[in-house]
Amino acid sequence: MRIPIVDDATPASHPPTSERFLLIAAYATTASIYAVALLTTPELRQPAIWPALTALFVAFVLTIPFLPRTDAPLWRRGGLLVLQAALVFAIVLVGRGASFLPILYFIVVPAAYLSLTFRQASVLALLCAGALFLNYLLLSDVETALTMLLPYGGGFVFFIAVSVSLIQQQRERQRAERLLAELEAAHRQLQAYAVQVEALAVAEERNRLAREIHDSLGHYLTTITVLLEAAGKLIATQPGQAAEAVARAQGLAREGLAEVRRSVAALRASPLDTESLSEAIGEVVEDIRASGIAATFTVEGEARPLPIQTKTALYRVAQEGLTNVRKHANASAAQVVLAYEPERVTLTISDNGTGRRRGKMEGFGLLGLRERVALLGGSLEAGDRPEGGFRLRVEVPMEDRDSG
């Protein structure tokens, strides 16, 4: 990036179109001055003057297209400009200070500001002004030199201002083009990120579906398989126990089918997509209350954002726990408490039912929930209450991150 023109920095390079325009303008100006000087000053057409003057003009014209680019070494850029100033100085001397000849300095000064830094170009502009003053001091006197320097000095100021303005416009254009390129690159990067995020979202949804299927169906199918294998072995020797195993397998198959239907319904439209955790659990409590069980729901502590995995796990615990209360507990009342603590969040479901019969295995739904909670670093406790009934309690660590 180049420093602004007021600093000692390399000026902005101009595009090919501007270079061609400047070359044509310089050629036209030089040719016009040459022609006007010869036409208005007859003495310049004398054999003693005309060849030398023409040779100097030709030499000056030949230096114009060879102006080095702005990335060339300073000695090449500055040396060529000094050579041009020296040629103009010689042209004015040989031309006896004829009118319009000092205008050639106006070609050197803008070229300096287009190829040198501001300070370097300003030094060269002062050098040209000094050369102009010396031209007429050698040809005439101090008064004449000052008389010529004042109007041409104003011309120097004008061309310097125009050159600086052009350079600033060029820099602004380059800056705008650079910013546009950066914005386009950022847009392409954002598009790439969007594709990656979409792919990650798809992968996460696939994992969630796999977990739902595993939790709701995997345990049921596994146990049904075990029971049917046991029935096959017992059918010849203990037909009664075999029939009992088949009956249990049938019951589990019906429960598994119901669980799959609930899971599919939940996957199609999860309340957590549009509601908070407490609102979603509140709807589950309302459902069990509608079945005739006096259920209450309490939220303790200040609700905080939770990761989507944590919210889903707690919601599934509420669904499974209240479903068990309705189907197996023979309870008339149930209490649900969602508690936000500094380092954890807990969900407790209690009822006044019959509790768990001694020796009965833990349900497969609870086994799936236990695995889900364990993946989050939490724990699940389920057992009879001393005062009667059953209690299910889940504890999940509180993570310092926004909900998904």
Residues 174 and 310 grouped into a single domain: no
In a domain, 380, yes or no: yes
Which pLDDT score is estimated for 395?
A: 94
CATH of the domain at 295: 3.30.565.10
Angle at 21 between CA 19 and CA 22, to 5 degrees: 65
Q: Show which of 161, 185, 209 is a domain's final residue.
A: 185
In a domain, 199, yes or no: no
In a domain, 263, yes or no: no
Q: Which residues contact 255 (CB under 8 A, 6 or more apart)?
A: 220, 364
Which pLDDT score is estimated for 262?
A: 65
In a domain, 250, yes or no: no
In a domain, 258, yes or no: no
Residues 33 and 180 grouped into a single domain: yes
In a domain, 338, yes or no: yes
In a domain, 207, yes or no: no
Which pLDDT score is estimated for 387?
A: 86
User: Within a 10 A sphere around the Cβ of 327, how many other Cβ atoms?
Assistant: 12
Look at the chain and report how many structural domains it folds into: 2
In a domain, 150, yes or no: yes
Which pLDDT score is estimated for 358?
A: 45
Residues 140 and 28 grouped into a single domain: yes
Residues 156 and 296 grouped into a single domain: no
Write out the residue range of the structural domain in which residue 107 sits.
16-185
Q: Which residues contact 323 (CB under 8 A, 6 or more apart)?
A: 262, 365
Residues 63 and 181 grouped into a single domain: yes
Residues 180 and 284 grouped into a single domain: no
Residues 177 and 300 grouped into a single domain: no
- What is the rounded CA–CA span in Å between residue 241 and residue 227? 10
Residues 174 and 282 grouped into a single domain: no
Residues 291 and 157 grouped into a single domain: no
CA dihedral 10, 16, 18, 24 (to 10 degrees): 120
Which pLDDT score is estimated for 296?
A: 92
Residue in 2, 13, 9, 3 with CA at minimum distance from that of residue 114: 13
Q: Show which of 152, 185, 218 is a domain's final residue.
A: 185
Is-above-0.85 flag for pTM?
A: no
Q: Show which of 165, 185, 205 is a domain's final residue.
A: 185
Q: Which residues contact 376 (CB under 8 A, 6 or more apart)?
A: 309, 310, 313, 396, 397
User: How confident is the prediction along the chain (404 residues), in pLDDT tens digits per residue?
Assistant: 333 333 444 454 444 555 677 778 888 888 888 888 888 888 888 888 889 989 999 998 888 876 656 666 777 778 888 898 899 999 989 988 887 888 888 888 888 877 788 888 888 888 988 888 898 889 888 888 888 888 887 777 877 777 777 777 777 888 888 888 888 888 888 878 877 877 787 677 677 666 666 666 766 777 788 888 888 888 888 888 888 888 888 887 887 777 776 666 555 556 777 788 899 899 889 888 887 889 999 999 888 888 888 888 899 899 888 888 888 778 889 999 999 998 999 999 999 988 764 445 455 567 778 888 888 899 999 888 888 889 999 999 986 544 44
Residues 163 and 305 grouped into a single domain: no
Residues 296 and 171 grouped into a single domain: no
Which pLDDT score is estimated for 364?
A: 58
